[in-house]
Structure 1
Amino acid sequence: MQQKLEALQKRLGYQFKNQNLIIEALTHKSSKQPYNNERLEFLGDAVLDLIVGEYLYHEFTEVAEGELSKLRASLVNEKSFEKLARLLHLGESIYISLAEENNNGREKPSLLSNAFEAIMGALYLEAGLETTRALAISLLEEAYPKIDMDAIFRDHKTTLQELTQAHFGVTPEYRLVRSFGPDHKKEFEIAVCVRGNDLALASGKSKKEAQQKAALLALEILKKEFQ
């Protein structure tokens, strides 16, 4: 495991002075050690929220607060952090129980995402914000070479379909409610329907945009129901 730790630190471009810190960041609670990475994960999540928020603030100087918040939410989440974790091959270095190992734990999105947050928390504690920011932004730009406002709308329809299929065994349906406005500036209003009920309504400059917005609203509604 020591070789994998060294390899990970080379990929990070940072050698931890306190090796116990990176080991803690990589230790899943299933390993039944007297420590695990949950506290570092908590810290890393807050640090990444700040780093990404600051990055977007400087990159998108003309974008309003509400849209910036949506863009940050599209980057600061499990799916995004899983992607960054895979860039670092984090799964190879995580300490997990045999049962978790046999359950394909090294490939679990939540486990990878949490470990990435914990690594960022550990890096922040030892090296400070500047070093953590530089590494996080470098990984972010590698994973997302083109970060733009379209990222707000990506994959919401797919995510909603996966959710409704898993919980209800059905796929969402999208219905054009109306179109309005002059031809050069037309807007489309779309309803998303699940099990015969209109779950959310949204409008956009294209049907595709309106569908994605409606899917996002529906996701937020369903996630509250499932909590």
Structure 2
Amino acid sequence: MNFSMNLSIYPSVIPNEIRVDIENMQKRLGYHIKNINLLLQALTRQSAIRQGIHYASKSNNQRLQWVGSNMFHSGIVYKLYEKYANNSYISTDYLNKVAINITSNMALVAEIGKRIGLASCVFRGSDEEIITSEILAHTFLAILGSITLDDGGQKAVHDVIERHWKWFLDNPEESFKRRPSSFHTRMPPRSATMPSRQRIRSSDFPNHGTEVL
């Protein structure tokens, strides 16, 4: 998919640097959310609303997280079925355990969120200065929810899952082995200070060594 950065689609109250970060995040994600309101809601934590961050959505991302969580599970099941439906050597019980392992591994969801640069895009209040793996995982699921309700629908969610969980879909046994630990990233909210870009290197998984600026 080709991406062209269009910063004019964002409300003028959103600082230009944040717009650039969001555009770059979507490029790494592999999907560009067309409904800007859904995108901004997916990035908005309740703490941002509570603090009155002026460029945050008026609605927090919890409902989108709920949608995304369900779509994540059904998407993993769909992709596993698609790959192994005709493989008589792999039982349905085994595939069910693989699906549970993958979808319950929120540290991996957070790791993927970190890798695409999601940490610098989360709208939050000053009481959430530290970006935890939980915050990143919940925000990533909200992004999946916004993709579901956007023009892309289920197919776009499946494509994102294939892109970022391909290693585990192609090597289901790895879901029983690789469980990254949680992490914390100290990054002041944009409303307080505009942080310099952080270099984060992901090396917990094969082919996951890309650098996020």
Q: Secondary structure at the match of 2:31?
A: coil
Aligned position for 2:144? 120
Cα gap change, 1:14/1:151 in structure 2, threshold over 3 Å: closer, same or farther?
Answer: closer
Structure 1 stretches of 4+ with a deviation exceeding 6 A read: none
2:111 pairs, out of 76, 83, 94, with: 83
Aligned position for 2:101? 74
Corresponding residue pairs, total? 153
Per-residue CA distance 1:16-63 (angstroms, 9 max, x = gap) = 222111110011111125311110000001111111011112323332
Residue 31 (str. 1) matches residue 69 (str. 2): no
Residue 133 (str. 1) matches residue 158 (str. 2): yes
Q: Which is higher, the Rg of structure 1 or of structure 2?
A: 1
Find the aligned partners of 1:10 and 1:118 in 2 and give their Cα distance. 17
TM-score (norm 1): 0.61
What does 1:215-226 align with in structure 2 at a 5 Å threshold?
none
TM-align CA RMSD? 2.3
Aligned position for 2:38? 21
Aligned position for 1:10? 27
In terms of fraction of residues, the more strand-rich structure is 1
TM-score (norm 2): 0.65
Q: Secondary structure at the match of 1:32?
A: helix
Q: Is the 8 A contact 2:168 2:175 kept in 1?
A: no
**Structure 2: 5+ residue runs without aligned partners?**
1-17, 51-57, 183-213
Higher relative contact order (CA 8 A, sep 6+): 2
Task: Give the deviation of 1:84 after TM superposition.
Answer: 1.8
**Structure 1: 5+ residue runs without aligned partners?**
163-227
In terms of fraction of residues, the more helix-rich structure is 1
Q: Output the amino acid matched with 2:176.
A: I
Per-residue CA distance 1:130-183 (angstroms, 9 max, x = gap) = 122112211112x6485232422555xx98xx9xxxxxxxxxxxxxxxxxxxxx
| % identical aligned pairs | 23
